[in-house]
Structure formats: C-alpha cells, structure tokens
Amino acid sequence: MWLVGLLAVFYGHSQWALSKSRALGWIEDHEQAVFAMKEGVCDDFAFDVNVNIRAGHPKGEWQVDGGKNYVCDYVRASNAHVRVLKPAIDTRTELVSLEHSDFPWMTAKVKVRQITTFTLPGARTLNEVGETTYVLRRTIRSLQIAEMTSRSEGQFPR
C-alpha cells in the first residue's frame, strides 16, 4: 500500500512541478534572470543541455549551438552589452503548448511565444518576436533546461 502512496506523491509532484502556470512562471523568471545576469543563472541549464538558437536580424542570422559551457559563456558575453547600454527590457511570454513526458514523468516539452522590447535611453526601441521550445526537467529543488530550441526575428544587432 505504501508503494501506491509513494507513486501517487511522485506523480502529484510531477503534475505540480510541471504544471502550465509553474512552467510558464519558471521560464519568465529564468528569462529575467538571464537579462539581469543574476548569480546562478547558469544553474538553470542541465549539465547535458543541448541549445539551438537561430535569430534573424537586419544583417543576417545569429546562431548558438552547444552545451552548458557554450551557452553560459554566451550569456555572460551578451549581458555585458546589456549592462553597458542599460535598456528597459519588456518581455511578454505566452504559453503555446505543454506536453508531459510519459512515466517516470520527469520532463515536459514547453513551447512559448515571446515578444521582447528593448528601449535604449535616448534612442529607438528594438523588438524581437520568436518561439522557443524548452524541455524542462524536474529536479529535487526546481526545474532545469534539458533542451532549448529557439527561432526569432528582430531588429537587434548581434
């Protein structure tokens, strides 16, 4: 009987940890932490993460393909520009879909649509629109990004 109870708790925790509202809130918090380069933001990426990003802009396409070290190095370098320029950043995130994995219910594939606006002090406003698919993996304490695929178009010079 205790095995059934343990299985019910494990399943219930999975449904809560990977629910629509929790997954969307976690993604929004992660994106804000990336822009702010908060301490530990790279801990949001699993050790075996696979990242594939394509961002179209006026001068061509910008690409990021790699694992945790590569994406964390990119986040650090790109945020140096954010710290220097000090733009006002507004990101609107909309949940497109969420699909839970089968037993043992450890991951969910979450697709979001994002519109990000950068307003530079005394300059023009830049926009980017894209869709990102995350594979979120639950851990004992939180969630981690196991996979991330993103496609976007915008005016940001890269």
Per-residue HEC secondary structure of 105-127 comes to CCEEEEEEEEEEEEECCCCCEEE
Q: Which amino acid is at 66?
A: G
| Residue range(s) defining the domain that contains residue 102 | 2-154
Strand partners, 112: 95, 132
Q: Count up the domains in the chain and report the number.
A: 1
Contact 49, 30 (CB under 8 A): no
Q: Which amino acid is at 48?
A: D
pLDDT at position 157 is 59
Provide the CATH number for the domain around residue 50: 3.10.450.50
Q: What is the mean pLDDT of the chain?
A: 85
pLDDT at position 11 is 61
Top mean pLDDT of 8-12, 29-33, 86-90, 139-143 is at 29-33
Contact 57, 152 (CB under 8 A): no
Over residues 72-114, the pLDDT tens digits come to 888 887 777 777 777 888 899 999 999 988 777 789 999 999 9
